[in-house]
Amino acid sequence: MDLYELTIHEAHRLLKNKKITSRELTRAVLDRIDAVENKIDAYITISAELAMQQAAQADEAISRGKCLPLTGIPLGVKDLICTQAFPTTCGSRILENFVPPYDATVIRKLRDANAVIVGKLNMDEFAMGSSTENSGIKITRNPWDSTRIPGGSSGGSAAAVAADMCLGALGSDTGGSIRQPASHCSVVGMKPTYGRVSRFGLVAFASSLDQIGPLAKNVTDCALLMNIISGYDRSDSTSVPRDVPDYASDLGGDLRGITVGIPEEYSATEGLDPAVMSAVSNAVGVLEELGAKRVKISLPHTQYAVAVYYVIAPSEASSNLARYDGVKYGFRNRDNTDLMNMYCSTRSQGFGLEVQRRIIIGTYCLSAGYYDAYYGKASQVRTLITEDFKKSFETCDIIACPVAPTAAFKIGEKVDDPLTMYLSDIFTLSANLAGIPGMSLPCGFSSDGLPIGLQILGNHFNEEMLFKVAHSFEAATEFHKKKPNL
């Protein structure tokens, strides 16, 4: 086995026992990037020199007996998480030369653990998209089929993990942006409970929905990443002061006594590929074989989730992205002498079409005379969606459903049809609206050999249950062991 094929926990064991060094491991990952990046285009920026310096520091820490689970482990970071003295573009031309003056809290935690950050990963511009085709930098390709999308907006993160171009990665999830690409690339991805992981230093898209989370090769690695990045942060007003359990300590075992809720509404979703539904049904069957009990539940306001999301998220984006005006930082069109023309031309040239579309939608929804009819009403329905989940978790421990209606589609197939693209998030949006944790894990393949993911959702701050169920499923199946042929 090549070193870049190792999982995080396998590499940690070898590093701790001094069988390998972080410099050897990091060099192997960088060489892997050199070999396959031109086929995938997962990275926006690669920091080889800095990565090797961090690896040397990790080796020094290990020599002193300080080897935490992420010490010396090469990781990738989605390019909307601020990294001091290193570019953070958000996949946008308007920030292509922006270098943050500080680290995000999650980056500081990775550095404190002596992890190695090899580079920043591609994404849909400002996390607005489901395919990574909306990146202002490049289009990332799915390692399983280079003609297809890797998912989005954390497409670079999922593709890099699947292609062994890092041992794990951080992404962000506003409406499914970790879980959907994880499903399409056959890796494990988690959206934590809103408030579980600090958002300080995460460039905002929709502040009430955004959440940072991990993508990894298996459930154990995902738990190890969650252990490091979770926890209360005074710098984030939405961070919740709750103790963080050791997610990696209670993995495995049977599932007797655990109840799995199956939403009636999801199976009737228009456009749901029978192959996806079959793979998810088979996965639920495996959970039953492990001792879990299946029950039917109802999430009656699911039909409104897409409409609610595409009012709330663009409205918050309109507010958050107002700061990119060509005055304070970022791209500026200098061909104008008139201030208003400078604003307009800067934003028209700096933002891509999808970002412009969502800013326009959001600004309209927040405008005088329309706020109550759109944003106000959407917020009320959001409460009803949250109540649906609360009621369901009175009768079940987790909810199982698809991640996406189909496997990864062809690049360019939906790019000119925004509504169809938006509907591809039908199964993931509700978790963000309700603030609950969700996870995607590999559960099958389509007839074309494309990955399919199982989504499991849990009650607020009950990530432990998701890890337990996911690890038991993973131990009973082989899907996570299959690799794309590059």
Output the pLDDT for position 338: 87
> Is residue 337's pLDDT more than 80?
no
63 is catalytic: no
Cβ burial of 406 (10 Å; 0-12, 13-18, 19+) is: middle
Confidence band for 334, pLDDT divided at 50, 70 and 90: confident
Residue with tokens 């926990």: 9
pLDDT score, position 215: 98
User: What average pLDDT does the segment 70-74 reach?
Assistant: 98
| Whether 382 contacts 312, CB under 8 Å | yes
Q: Which of 153, 157, 392, 472 is catalytic?
A: 153
- Distance between CA atoms of residues 403 and 477, nearest Å: 18
Catalytic one of 47, 177, 183, 198: 177
pLDDT tens digits for 91-131?
Answer: 999 999 999 999 999 999 999 999 999 999 999 999 999 99
Measure the CA dihedral 300/305/306/311, to 10°.
140
Summarised one tens digit per residue, pLDDT across range 277-317 is 999 999 999 999 999 999 999 999 999 999 999 999 999 99
- Structural domains in the chain, CATH included, are 3-256 (3.90.1300.10)
Angle at 172 between CA 198 and CA 389, to 5 degrees: 85
Tell me: pLDDT of 254 over 80: yes
Which of 47, 78, 120, 157 is flagged as catalytic?
Answer: 78
Q: In this model, does residue 183 exceed pLDDT 80?
A: yes
Output 393-397 pairs: Cβ under 8 A, ≥24 positions apart.
Answer: 393/261, 393/458, 393/459, 395/259, 395/261, 395/295, 395/297, 396/259, 396/260, 396/261, 396/295, 396/297, 397/258, 397/259, 397/260, 397/458, 397/459, 397/462, 397/465, 397/469
pTM beyond 0.75: the answer is yes
Full 3-state SS string of 269-308: CCCCCHHHHHHHHHHHHHHHHCCCEEEEECCHHHHHHHHH
Active site includes 153? yes
Q: What is the pLDDT of residue 313?
A: 98
Given this model, what pLDDT does residue 356 score? 97
133 in Cβ contact with 412 (< 8 Å): yes
pLDDT confidence tier of residue 335, bands split at 50, 70 and 90: confident
pLDDT of residue 1: 87
| pLDDT of residue 256 exceeding 90 | yes
The pLDDT value recorded for residue 250 is 82
| 278 part of the active site | no
Q: What is the pLDDT of residue 420?
A: 86
